[in-house]
Amino acid sequence: MKNLAFGLDIGGINTVFGLVDKDGEIIAESTISTAAYKLFEQYPSYVSDLCTAMKNMLASLDFEHQLVGIGISAPNANYRTGCISTPANLWKYMADGSPVALGNHNFNFVDDFRVHFPDIDTILLTNDANAATIGEMMFGNAKGMSDFIMITLGTGVGSGFVANGEMIYGHDGMAGEYGHVTVEHGGRVCGCGRRGCLETYTSATGVKRTVFALLADRTGPSVLRNIPYSEFDTKMVYDAALQGDAIALETFRFTGEMLGRALANVVTVTSPEAIILFGGLTKAGKFLLEPTSQYMEENMLFTYKRKVKLLTSGIQDKNVAVMGAAALVWQSI
């Protein structure tokens, strides 16, 4: 008899779900479209179709097994309530095309899953950064650590905080939004409606904005001058940096400076053993990590200097979203 947990990662385009054992091995994995259910009214069908697909996956296994729980990772997810409040990309339009106001509706995700899996006690939901954090703690480079910080550098910037061996969910279940710490008062406009958030500088989009600000500011040549804003991705900056392109190199230095300063600041709160960087941007390797580490140490209070390890994720080449969501279950039982 093999114990298995479902891990689900709900994204704006697809929902990936998989069965994961207690060592983090993904036994089976599949995908359904999230985007096909983009209307508010389609949410019940989405849940029902997803649960049917999950049950089919379980039924297809050719060995004895037991489902011990379901862990779900989603944007705007609240661990304490089990709800997703209207997220930016999901179920956001009414049938008449009018938008559902952001944050105005709570989808009772965990309760809705219970209807389909009445025998499963452990059904847990959290946001993608927290799921990645727990995945890292159970299966990755934070194994055995009681105090660490995870920073996810993707389209946006997410974060997860572990202290005393436990995930910090906060009073309302919404802790760990360090991507929205203000790093530059009156700085760049952010999708959250404020200015100067960390993610406007150190996400993939932030890097792109930095490139274009530098192209506007400087006069020197750069291969990046040949790429329209709309066709741009951060891989191009990395390739340009490899060729020694000055704009690309300065972009990573500046990104590392903003990130390093923000990390030096947050260390004063939880005094972690390590900060683990995760996500697409970390593929820039030393172009990003060296300035990040340099500015982090340069701005660090003496109490913490040279004490905090700066690491990259140990699991991000695997399907960490599914592993992380399943880790929610494994950690709780």
106 touches a copy of itself (CB under 8 A): no
Site string for a copy of itself, 297-326 (x = CB under 8 A): --x-xxxx--x-------------------
118 touches a copy of itself (CB under 8 A): no
- Beta-strand pair 14-20/77-78: unpaired
CB of 85 to a copy of itself, least distance (A): 9
Q: Which is nearer to a copy of itself, 167 or 248 (CB)?
A: 167
Long-range contacts of 82-88 (CB under 8 A, 24+ apart): 82/108, 82/109, 82/110, 82/111, 82/123, 82/124, 82/125, 83/107, 83/108, 83/109, 83/110, 83/125, 84/10, 84/109, 84/125, 87/12, 88/12, 88/191
CB of 249 to a copy of itself, least distance (A): 22
How far is Cα of residue 222 from the mean position of the Cα atoms in its chain?
31
* Piece in contact with a copy of itself (CB under 8 A), picked from 90-98, 233-241, 266-274, 322-330: 266-274
How far CA 206 is from CA of 157, 164, 216, in Å, comes to 10, 32, 15
Q: Which is nearer to a copy of itself, 14 or 299 (CB)?
A: 299
Give, as ranges, the residues between 273 and 302 that touch a copy of itself (CB under 8 A): 273, 299, 301-302
Give, as ranges, the residues between 44 and 103 that touch a copy of itself (CB under 8 A): 103
Give backbone dihedrals phi and psi of 74, rounded to 5 degrees, phi first.
-150, 155
Q: How far apart are CA 117 and CA 146, in angstroms?
A: 33
Q: How far apart are CA 129 and CA 153, in angstroms?
A: 10
Give, as ranges, the residues between 136 and 175 that touch a copy of itself (CB under 8 A): 145-148, 159, 161, 163-164, 166, 168-175
Interface positions with a copy of itself (CB under 8 A): 103, 145-148, 159, 161, 163-164, 166, 168-178, 180-182, 185, 192-194, 261, 264-266, 268-273, 299, 301-304, 307
